[in-house]
Amino acid sequence: MSELILHNIGPFIRDSLLIYSTPFVAAIVAIGLLWLLIQRPNLVDKEGNPTPPGPPIRFPFLRRYPERPLFRWAKQYGPIYSVWMGTQIFVVINDAQMARDLLVTNGANFSSRWSYFVKNQTILNGGGITATRYNDTWRKHRRIGMWLLNSKAVRSYAEMIDYETHILARALYESSKGGQVAIDPAPHAGRFALNTMLSLTFGSRTVTASDPLVLEALRINIEFMRLTGPWTNMIDFVKILQWLPTTTRYRARKLHFDVIAIYGAMMLRTKARMDAGDDVPDCLAKTLIECQETEQLSWEDMCFIVGAFTIGGVHSTSGVIEWFIALMPSNPSVQAKAHKELDSIVGTLGWPKADDETKLPYIRAIVKEVLRMHSPFWMGTPHCSDEDFVYKGYYIPKNSVMILNVYALHHNEERYPDCWTFNPDRYLGDTLSATESAKQPNALERDHWAFGAGRRICPGMEMADNELFLALARLLWSFTFHEVPGETICLDEYEGLSGRTPFPFKVVLKPRHENVRDIVIEKKEVVKHVV
Ligand code: HEM
């Protein structure tokens, strides 16, 4: 038929069609195939329930600032929607009550982790608590971790937190030469967070921000945060790439061995000291070594548990302190209000202590507001479902990755009026700690979602809350915070693809009164064996 038509049309048109039709048809076929490849599948269960709505195409990855499309889609598709990344479905939760219904009430089904190729399979090899599926191994590792992070244990760290927050203020005072030079606060915030974590994991600390251990641990942290964004790596979603020698695969494998090398070496030295009969302070490494046999822990298990604790605890806590310092210069009225509270309750002769917390509601409110405005993890750490589930008429297939859309939850205008403004006043009257707040039956009343939700909720939240309160209270008591003239501190863009920290910036810290110097330099740096 087509030959007949070709024969009967003019030779010019016929030749043109012959010349041009082959690429044209090929292009149509290619577009068709591409569409088949990228259009999202519309799955339904046996009862005909569809998966939650969402964008019509699949994505290979979303690299920078994925919270921005996530937020737009929440407005377009509603409180629960789904997104396809390659062959994997992600269910995105944008509503507080739904987060509670799914991740807390139905936590038995929504507490696993998906096997991300880069983070879970290659770097952590399913270990480190955070990458472990919801199973008996996770229960065991988390139980052991909680020996060091339950409320009683955390109370016993009060002295250590008191000391490290003191050293943080001292380091900032000294490196800024009493307010005369502008400084980059990041290495000091990093060392503070690293020292609290090293005290917890190895009973040790570092003495300068340029200590090789500080630099190596911070490098590992940054590499981890750059490599483990929940939607960053195409290799996570396009399986064929996992077999190719890509740079991402190479970096992930290298990081795996770096974590084992640095934390394994520290574990070995702790063991050697224990074997030699030294008085090793109580810490996670000692606990793991002591219970290795009874709990049947492999050496790799132990390295990744201490590694994940240290990486998780350092980057997030130091990031929050950096965001706090970055926020202060453009919020002089917040500083003034905090100073008024501190001066009236604490005075200038002494400085804030841990047990002043209930008397300093505005400082507590600042901690919560920094965590709301600048949560380190806008997409939480994704959970994963173990079984098919139907929620409000939507089908959530087994092995769906569940994203807690912290960015959307924290920018809900009804819950947080004028949500784009840094306003600690919104938390005045909220007397609950982050841990207590997360347990409230009414999810809409929870302070914020920075620590995640459900059975995988951050086990270090009580520790982090205590550290942040005292660090922020003491920094506010000691300094006023100013921008370097002509150098605006960027609050919109950030570093990191999973944990967020501000771009490097400098700040001027002016001591508030004569007593600052006397108090901050009173404590000397103590060398505790770096294992
Ligand atoms: C401001 C500081 C911190 C923030 C914002 C933070 C945030 C988070 C988030 C969002 C999760 C995932 C929760 C979920 O899956 O729903 C998490 C998990 C975790 N965090 Fe934190 N964290 C902080 C500090 C710490 C500290 C100080 C430690 C250790 C002492 C720690 C250890 C862990 C561990 C081990 C997990 C994995 C839990 C699991 O998968 O069962 N974090 N954290």
Pocket probe mutation, ligand 1, options 103, 140, 410, 451, max atoms within 8 Å of Cβ: 451
CA–centroid distance, residue 331 to ligand 1 (Å): 28
Confidence of residue 36 (pLDDT cuts 50, 70, 90): low
pTM of this structure: 0.92
CA–centroid distance, residue 381 to ligand 1 (Å): 9
How would you class 215 by CB atoms within 10 Å of its CB: exposed for 0-12, middle for 13-18, buried for 19 or more?
Answer: middle
What's the confidence (pLDDT) of residue 213?
A: 73
What's the confidence (pLDDT) of residue 240?
A: 92
Pocket probe mutation, ligand 1, options 283, 304, 458, 472, max atoms within 8 Å of Cβ: 458
Asked if residue 5 has pLDDT above 50, the reply is no
How would you class 189 by CB atoms within 10 Å of its CB: exposed for 0-12, middle for 13-18, buried for 19 or more?
Answer: buried
Nearest CA owner, ligand 1 atom 9: 451
Asked if residue 29 has pLDDT above 80, the reply is no
What's the confidence (pLDDT) of residue 345?
A: 97
Confidence of residue 4 (pLDDT cuts 50, 70, 90): very low
CA–centroid distance, residue 133 to ligand 1 (Å): 16
- Could you give the CA distance from residue 304 to residue 119 in angstroms, rounded to a whole number? 12
**Which residues fall in the annotated binding site?**
458
The owner of tokens 């030079």 is 181
Of 212-216, 309-313, 358-362, the range with the lowest mean pLDDT is 212-216
Confidence of residue 72 (pLDDT cuts 50, 70, 90): very high
CA–centroid distance, residue 48 to ligand 1 (Å): 38
Of 186-190, 240-244, 265-269, 325-329, the range with the lowest mean pLDDT is 265-269
CA–centroid distance, residue 301 to ligand 1 (Å): 18
Q: How does strand 80-85 pair with strand 479-483?
A: unpaired
Of 49-53, 77-81, 269-273, 512-516, the range with the lowest mean pLDDT is 269-273
Q: How does strand 88-93 pair with strand 80-85?
A: antiparallel
Structural tokens at position 263: 């934390």
Residues 6+ apart with CB under 8 A from 501: 186, 225, 315, 318, 319, 322, 323, 376, 494, 495
Of 136-150, 203-217, 362-376, 415-429, the range with the lowest mean pLDDT is 203-217
CA–centroid distance, residue 525 to ligand 1 (Å): 28
Of 113-127, 215-229, 388-402, 420-434, the range with the lowest mean pLDDT is 215-229
What's the confidence (pLDDT) of residue 3?
A: 47
Confidence of residue 380 (pLDDT cuts 50, 70, 90): very high
Asked if residue 17 has pLDDT above 60, the reply is no
What mean pLDDT do residues 482-502 have? 92
What's the confidence (pLDDT) of residue 489?
A: 97
Asked if residue 212 has pLDDT above 90, the reply is no
**Which residues fall in the annotated binding site for heme?**
458
What's the confidence (pLDDT) of residue 37?
A: 72
Closest ligand 1 atom, CA of 132? 40
Asked if residue 6 has pLDDT above 80, the reply is no
Nearest CA owner, ligand 1 atom 19: 458
CA–centroid distance, residue 196 to ligand 1 (Å): 15
Looking at residue 209, its amino acid is: A
Asked if residue 26 has pLDDT above 60, the reply is yes
Nearest CA owner, ligand 1 atom 37: 130
Where do runs of H (alpha helix) occur along 103-177? 136-149, 151-155, 158-175
What mean pLDDT do residues 299-328 have? 93
Of 4-8, 151-155, 514-518, the range with the lowest mean pLDDT is 4-8
State what percent of residues in the chain have pLDDT above 90. Answer: 78
What mean pLDDT do residues 258-263 have? 90
State what percent of residues in the chain have pLDDT above 70. Answer: 94
What mean pLDDT do residues 199-213 have? 82
Closest ligand 1 atom, CA of 406? 10
Ligand 1 neighbours (beta carbon < 6 A): 129-130, 142, 145, 149, 308-309, 312-313, 316-317, 320, 376-377, 380-381, 383, 450-454, 456-460, 463-464
Going by C-alpha positions, the residue among 313, 444, 447 that lies closest to residue 370 is 447
What's the confidence (pLDDT) of residue 529?
A: 57
